[in-house]
Structure formats: structure tokens, C-alpha cells
Amino acid sequence: MSVQKQVRRITAPEITARKGGEPIVSLTSYHAHTAQIADKYVDFLLVGDSLGMVMHGFESTVPVTLELMIMHGKAVVRGAERALVVVDMPFGSYEESPSVAFRNAAKIMKETDCGAVKLEGGKHMAETISYLANRGIPVMAHIGLTPQSINTIGGFKTQGRKKDQWAAIEEDAQAVAEAGAFAVVLEAMAEPLAARITKAVPIPTIGIGASVECDGQILVMEDMMGLSPRVPKFVKEFGKVGKAIERAIKLYSEDVRDRSFPANEHTYDVKD
């Protein structure tokens, strides 16, 4: 008899089935506590390799390791009960060959218990996506701006601003869909191109700096909460968490300095 907890998590096929329906809500999460808070409101949580920049202070996502992704992936799976958890495959863990990608994706899934992985790339990654999808690994693709390629792209640039760039990006979208990706992230992409791709492909598009026409949206949680010092133009701040944290720390430091903390109600008396 199974002793598992009877919690029904959203699955990758359920995300695919949302194509053209109610918009899919998603956010990044890197820790158990933010995952627990977001779990009620989102359909999936992405343990994005953006954690390298947001949490660990790297200049790009390139230095992020498999071990780091697995550590944060485990925390998010522990925190969320309902949302599908997708873990990013970091740079260098999947590009070499489909079999290397399978070994590393399987390691991520076994060690974190997440429900899917994400990898960056279009046409050139189609063979790998198909190899993984045919072997039990749901894959979310990621096209448009692919931050792991920052050193060849030369910067975090919006994609498809010139119409002569559209065909290649549309081919990427079709290729990942045909290869069996269950959804595709469209990052930093000219709005009309993202809308066209959304109409053309049979899998959900998840926009980040793309179009309201996408089948769903994702943002980096720290950016939308107002916790990141610099955010891209497409981010709307839905909170002012950075300011709230600073205010609380300032008040605490003032209380400690003028000896008003800990006051009696926060101290322990001797028991008789």
C-alpha cells in the first residue's frame, strides 16, 4: 500500500491542455517559503537558473551548476504542494548530446522530484527535446532571448524587432512543438511576433516580456515583488518588498541601538 501524501499536483500534460484557454499563471521561485506562498495562485513554479543572478550575484546565468539547480529545486518542491515545479537545466548540462541531456535531466527529476525540466534553444535543440520527451521527461522549451547564450548574443537584447528575424524564430517555435515540448517560453520578443507564434503553435506559449496574447505569463518573482535593484522595462512591480525589508531592518536597528528591544513582552522570565 502506498504511504505517499495524497496531494494532486498539476502535471505537464494539464499545462499543455490549457492551450488557448484560461491564461496560465507562473512565477520563478528558488526557496521553500516563496514556493509555499505562490503555490495557491500559480499553475507552475519555475526554478529558473536566473537564481544565479538573483540569489548568488553572478553576472549571468552561465556559471550556474547542476548541483545549485538541484539544491534550489528540492527546496521549491518541499514548499509547493499543488503547482507543477519545472527546474531549469543549467548551461553545459544538455547541449553536448541528447544522452548527456537525458542523464542530467533524469538526475534533476530523481533528486528534486520536480515534474518537468526547461532548456533553452529552438531548432538546434529539437533532437534533444524529442529524445527526452520520448523517455519520460516533460520538457519546456525556451526561445527568443536565451540568456545562457549571452556570450554569443552579446547582451540581453529583445528578439524579433526586425521583421527579417521573424522566420527563424517562428521556425524555432514550430521545431520545439513538433519535437514534443509541452510548452514554450517566449522571452523578450517583439509583441506582434509573440502573438503570431502563439496562434501558430499547438502548445502553450509562456511570455516574459512578450505579449498579452501568450497562453500564459511568467516573471522573476523578485522582480515583480520590487525586490530587485534593476528590472527590465517589461516588468511591472506588484509590490514593494525591498522597501518593506529595508524599513523593518532600519526599525530593528534603531530599537537595538536605543535599547528599546527586547522589551519585556519579548523576554523570558524565570519560572518558579
Which of the ranges 47-55, 68-76, 161-169, 194-202 carries the binding residues for ligand KIV, by CB under 6 A? Answer: 47-55
User: Minimal CB distance to ligand KIV: which residue?
Assistant: 48
Q: Which is nearer to ligand KIV, 46 or 129 (CB)?
A: 46
Best CA proximity match to 133, nearest among 171, 175, 172: 175
Site string for ligand KIV, 68-107 (x = CB under 6 A): --------------------x-------------------
**Residue 80 vs residues 12, 15, 34, 202, 260: alpha-carbon distances, Å:** 16, 17, 9, 28, 38
Active site residues: 187
Query: CA 34, 39, 42, 47: dihedral to nearest 10 degrees?
Result: 50
- Rounded distance between C-alpha atoms, residue 185 and residue 205, angstroms: 6
Among 27, 69, 194, 208, binds ligand KIV (CB under 6 A): 208
Minimal distance in Å, beta carbon 188 to ligand KIV?
A: 9
Q: Which is nearer to ligand KIV, 49 or 170 (CB)?
A: 49
140 binds ligand KIV (CB under 6 A): no
159 binds ligand KIV (CB under 6 A): no
Which of the ranges 43-51, 71-79, 150-158, 163-171 carries the binding residues for ligand KIV, by CB under 6 A? Answer: 43-51
Dihedrals phi, psi of 205, to nearest 5 degrees:
-100, 135
Cell 541601538, located at residue: 257
- Rounded distance between C-alpha atoms, residue 205 and residue 21, angstroms: 12
Site string for ligand KIV, 227-266 (x = CB under 6 A): ----------------------------------------
Among 220, 221, 224, 225, binds ligand KIV (CB under 6 A): 220
Which of the ranges 48-56, 171-179, 241-249, 258-266 carries the binding residues for ligand KIV, by CB under 6 A? Answer: 48-56
Please list every residue from 2 through 41 that binds ligand KIV, using CB under 6 A: 28
Please list every residue from 173 through 192 that binds ligand KIV, using CB under 6 A: 185, 187
The answer, yes or no, to whether the previous bond of 204 is cis (omega within 30 of 0) is no
**Interface with ligand KIV (CB under 6 A):** 28, 46, 48-50, 88, 142, 185, 187, 208, 218, 220
